[in-house]
Amino acid sequence: MSLSDAAKARTEAAFKRKEEQARDGANAWAEYEAKSRAIAKNMERLRALRLAKEAAARPRPQSSAVQSPSPNPPNPPLPPQPPATARALRRNGASAGEPSTNAFKQARPNTSTRAPYAQRTRARRKPGAAS
């Protein structure tokens, strides 16, 4: 076998290998898509079952003509809240006419221990440097 015959055989083997890989890749992709469709179909079936179960467990409203007394009394009204301070309104981004939406921030003051930018930069400057 000459050198050109050996090179030709290697080239043909590489070509056959690439063809086989392409076929395997197409088959693998088809399997992947089939599994994905099966999973999606099963998820949809399970979702429909769950929604049906939740709908069956939900109590049906009674007719408006006859209502039985509720076993639990309604919740008592909440006590009045003190008015928010102007500072708390500014911090939470609310105006004076509307209530603050973040009660946690309103109740808790700023507890940051980090120094303002100017103080941090002054601390880093070398002594004797012109400002």
Residue 104 included in any domain: no
Q: Is the pLDDT of residue 131 over 70?
A: no
62 within domain boundaries:
no
Structure confidence at residue 130 (pLDDT): 58
Number of domains making up the chain: 1
Mean pLDDT (the chain) is 76
Mean pLDDT of 28-44: 96
CA distance 36 to 44: 12
Domain that holds residue 2: 1-57
Phi-psi map region of 88: left, alpha, beta (phi>0 left; psi -120 to 50 alpha)? alpha
- Is there a domain that residue 30 lies in? yes
The verdict on residue 37 lying in a domain is yes
Determine what percent of the chain is predicted with pLDDT higher than 70: 54
What is the spatial distance between Cα 48 and Cα 1, in angstroms, rounded to a whole number?
Answer: 68
Residue 110, pLDDT > 60, answer no
Instruction: Give the model's pLDDT for residue 101.
Output: 54
Q: Residue 118 domain-assigned? A: no
End-to-end CA gap in the chain = 85
